Amino acid sequence: MPRGPGQRAGLTRAAVLDTAHALLAEEGLDALTMRALARRLGVAPNALYSHVPGKTELVDALLDDRLSLVEAPDPAAADPVAALAALMTSSYEVLLARADLLPLYLARQGSRGPNAVRLGIATDALLARLGLAAEAIPSARRALIVHAIGCAAFAGGDGPVPAEMARADFTRSLRWLLDGIAAQPAKSAPP
Amino acid sequence: MPRGPGQRAGLTRAAVLDTAHALLAEEGLDALTMRALARRLGVAPNALYSHVPGKTELVDALLDDRLSLVEAPDPAAADPVAALAALMTSSYEVLLARADLLPLYLARQGSRGPNAVRLGIATDALLARLGLAAEAIPSARRALIVHAIGCAAFAGGDGPVPAEMARADFTRSLRWLLDGIAAQPAKSAPP
DNA sequence: ACCTGAACACCGTTCAAGT
DNA sequence: ACCTGAACACCGTTCAAGT
């Protein structure tokens, strides 16, 4: 029996996001519409707006949720370059499973949800351990992020390049970037 | 006076693409709809389908058109690394003006229109001049392309990073990639 | 072959009302 | 506060018809 106006469906923001994740994973970005999402939840389309500001914010939340699966590296890791490589590789893997979303993410310059901020801070800490000057750190961070997201968006596409090859490309060019970053002029060392 | 059925509007594929370019440049990707495009051309929405297979193909054509502005480098250039840097920088600049389209392009792994193919061949020729093994050339090409498109999509976004800074990031990390590519194990030199 | 009219099957979002 | 019904202002695309 359908609900009338005023009767609650027990919807929560978490339930909306969970179902959105499932819909995205199962049917792709094109199928992720507010109306299809509402259908899956058994509510009227506009009921979603009590728990989510709009579709843009929902998509942002989905991507940042995804980044919660990446664990921040130990800032005191013995080998900061290896720790950066592991962090970027882990981000790449996790983002690959939601490659549909990445184009939008790139265009918004990685609009910063809490998890993106958390990983950004961890990245900066490792870059500082390499001896980078403070002004050089944001640039290096952006280069690594654009690379990881760009490669994941590319690999997740439906083009002719197989996933394994795209992954090998990612790893190799990541090394080139890290080599370049590590070879940058260091800030003056303490005496 | 409006046209009745059967009366021609003098539409051509070129006119459709030109108007689509103008619409995209003036009002952005969201405003580029088949209906808005038809409105601008003074025809019914479905009239477009006599000249263009659909919206996906139209967008692909718009991006490849854009690449026609990039001139292929001299394959016999004195400094192949400098020629590669110039080619990628020129592509970056040209794509920046249509940054809206890049996310879709990345996801389709740079779906290859005639101009994309032309520039890809030019890139491969320069990479071969560096002494790269044949198997290493497509990987190096993809790394450069993902980098250029990824950086342009990022820079074109409406985030907090100013365009000049994004451009400086692009140039610096491009150098790192080229350094890494050029330092790869060369194929056996002729005796 | 090229174009129109009408329609189909959708969108995201807002507004007024009900409990 | 949370939800429904109804509506608004759109989409891309197809189909039948007209010249």
Per residue in B100-109, pLDDT (tens digit) is: 999 888 878 7
Cβ–Cβ below 8 Å for B158 and A109: yes
Helix extents (H) in A28-100: 34-41, 55-67, 80-96
How does A158-186 read in b/e, with b if 16+ C-beta sit within 10 Å? Answer: ebebeeeebbebbebbbebbbebbbebee
Per residue in A144-182, pLDDT (tens digit) is: 999 999 999 999 887 789 999 999 999 999 999 999 999
Closest C-alpha among B154, B156, B145, B136 to residue B117: B145
Contacts of B159 (CB under 8 A, 6+ apart): A108, A109, A110, A111
Does residue A187 carry a pLDDT above 70?
Answer: no
Q: Which CATH number fits domain B66-182: 1.10.540, 1.10.357, 2.30.42, 1.10.3470?
A: 1.10.357
Q: Where in chain A is the domain with CATH 1.10.10.60?
A: 13-52
Q: Yes or no: say if A146 and B154 are a contact pair by the CB < 8 Å rule.
A: yes
| Token couple for B120 | 């890809």
Cβ–Cβ below 8 Å for A179 and B177: no
A55 contact residues in B (CB cutoff 8 A): none
Q: What is the CA radius of gyration of chain B?
A: 20
pLDDT reported for residue A14 = 98
Mean pLDDT, residues B165-191 taken together: 85
pLDDT reported for residue A184 = 86
Does residue B191 carry a pLDDT above 50?
Answer: no
Its CATH class, for the domain covering A13-52, is mainly alpha
CA–CA gap between residue B184 and residue A90 (Å, rounded): 25
Residue B56's pLDDT band, with cuts at 50, 70 and 90, is very high
The 10 Å Cβ neighbour count of residue B60 is 19
A111 touches chain B (CB under 8 A): yes
pLDDT reported for residue B187 = 58
B164 touches chain A (CB under 8 A): no
Mean pLDDT over the full length of chain B: 92
B177 contact residues in A (CB cutoff 8 A): 173, 176-177, 180
B151 touches chain A (CB under 8 A): yes
| 3-class DSSP state of A42 | coil
Beta bridge partners, A186, equal A132
Residue A191's pLDDT band, with cuts at 50, 70 and 90, is very low
A179 touches chain B (CB under 8 A): yes
DSSP notation for A133-147: -TTHHHHHHHHHHHH
Q: Yes or no: say if A9 and A46 are a contact pair by the CB < 8 Å rule.
A: no
How does A89-121 read in b/e, with b if 16+ C-beta sit within 10 Å? Answer: bbbbebbbebbbbbbbbbbbbbbebebbebbbe
How does B160-186 read in b/e, with b if 16+ C-beta sit within 10 Å? Answer: ebeeeebbebbebbbebbbebbbebee
Q: Where in chain B is the domain with CATH 1.10.357?
A: 66-182
CA distance A87 to chain B (A): 19
Q: Yes or no: say if A84 and A144 are a contact pair by the CB < 8 Å rule.
A: yes
Helix extents (H) in B32-129: 34-41, 55-67, 80-96, 102-107, 114-129
Closest C-alpha among A7, A4, A16, A28 to residue A158: A28
Mean pLDDT, residues B69-87 taken together: 97
B78-86: long-range contacts (C-beta < 8 A, 24 or more apart)?
B80/B126, B80/B127, B80/B129, B80/B130, B81/B130, B81/B178, B81/B182, B83/B126, B84/B123, B84/B126, B84/B127, B84/B144, B84/B178, B85/B174, B85/B175, B85/B178
pLDDT reported for residue B106 = 84
Mean pLDDT, residues A63-75 taken together: 96
B169 contact residues in A (CB cutoff 8 A): 139, 142-143, 146
B103: nearest CB among A107, A142, A143 = A107
Closest C-alpha among A78, A75, A191, A188 to residue A133: A188
| Token couple for B32 | 């580029």
pLDDT reported for residue B76 = 94
Contacts of A168 (CB under 8 A, 6+ apart): B139
Whether A5 sits with its Cβ under 7 A from any strand C atom: the answer reads yes
Mean pLDDT, residues B145-160 taken together: 91
